[in-house]
Amino acid sequence: MVALISAFGLVLAVELPDKTLVATLVLTTRFRGGPVFAGVCAAFAVQCVIAVAFGSVLTLLPDVVLSLAVAAMFGLGSFMLLREGFSEADEAGEDASRIGPAPLSFLRSAMTSFGVLFAAEWGDASQLATASLAARIGNPVAVGVGAFAALVVVAGLAVFIGGKIRSRIKPKLIQRCAGFVFAGFAAFALLQLTF
């Protein structure tokens, strides 16, 4: 029980201000909340299994390699968000769920959400925290369940907020802000190399 609570608390604290919340929020402004939540939760489940399974291996990576990988992933996420946020397409400001020929199917929205979050979670602080706890505590099932529960809470919060602000804010503005936040995370990861 201690392993489960420790993992839940640590991952919740790490994820609330993290890109996962922002990415889920952006997805919810583009697609319906149900498919986004389903896809995101499935991605979190797979990533928790991977983190727990390879916990001891991930914690053995040199700090320099880990920081470079994290910086590269944040940099890529920043590039992708800023490119879409500043693109001319859809500049009218409406999101895909409100305009266009037809809304995307549940499966397609869920699979898109799964892909985005599955890619975003590689090298994420929550994945590294889960792997570290699994290696230190020695109870991988409890650590995995606690981490997954925390990620589901964060996803639920993001879907709820995204649904509320969907009609009030333009998705491109959220993408631009998230892109700049990701760029800041990339810079921070690179700065860690100097210390």
Q: Is the pLDDT of residue 41 over 80?
A: yes
CA-CA distances (angstroms) from residue 57 to 66, 70, 106? 12, 16, 36
Among 103-107, 133-137, 170-174, name the one with the lowest average pLDDT.
Answer: 170-174
Q: 68-103, pLDDT tens digit by residue?
A: 766 776 677 677 667 777 877 544 444 444 433 346
Average pLDDT of 52-61? 66
Report the distance separating Cα 80 and Cα 82, nearest Å. 6
pLDDT confidence band for 56 (50 / 70 / 90): low
Ranges of H-type helices in 138-170: 140-165
What does the pLDDT read at residue 59? 53
Report the distance separating Cα 147 and Cα 103, nearest Å. 32
**In terms of Cα–Cα distance, which of 34, 33, 37 is closest to 163?**
33
Give me the amino acid identity at 56.
S
